[in-house]
Structure 1
Amino acid sequence: MAQLNRSEIILKIQELSFACVDLNLYLDTHPDDANAVNMYNSFSKQLNEAIRNYECKYGPLTNFGYGKSGCPWQWVEQPWPWDREFNC
């Protein structure tokens, strides 16, 4: 992934998350659509890479076992992704 700033990476994660959820819903009713499965797998891979990229630079996006943390515990560092200040 090209060198993106924090806001650009979050936007990419949001876009890819939306695409994965949308395709997941579609695949619930069209499970044999090979093209959609391939698109889902591609977007899912890109999403995981974007999340890994973000977390390596800025710390965990979620808690409860989905992401690693350095020491000190990074989850308490601010701003959090949902804070308005995050995108400034």
Structure 2
Amino acid sequence: MEKERVEMLRRIQEVEFACIDLNLYLDTHPTDKRALMDYNSYTYQLMMLKKQYESIYGPMTNFGYAQSQYPWAWIEDPWPWEIEY
């Protein structure tokens, strides 16, 4: 199961990078419809991937960015940044 967790985190990182890259591009090319469509597509994928990850492994972030199942899951380890790749 640990392999699937790492693979899911890597996919989240890949999609998140695409969102950041497209965000920066759109800052200088705001009328590029194709880039905006790609950005929206990647943003949706990112939301779904994070939701899927959190439903299996618990919250990725805290302070109101992700809901938690009972019992409070934020204290469960390893936290996403502690996983060895």
Pick the TM interval, shorter chain.
over 0.9
Alignment of 1:19-38 (within 5 A): 19-38=18-37
How many residues align? The count is 83
Distance 2:16 2:59 in 1: 16
- Segments of structure 1 that go 5 or more residues without pairing to the other structure are none
User: TM-score by structure 2 length?
Assistant: 0.92
| Aligned CA-pair RMSD | 1.3
Paired residues of 1:6 and 1:87 also in contact (CA < 8 A): no
Find the counterpart in structure 1 of residue 49 from structure 2.
Answer: 50
Distance 1:72 1:87 in 2: 25
Identity score, percent: 53
User: TM-score by structure 1 length?
Assistant: 0.89
Say whether 1:17 aligns with 2:44: no
- Segments of structure 2 that go 5 or more residues without pairing to the other structure are none
Q: CA deviation at 1:42?
A: 0.5
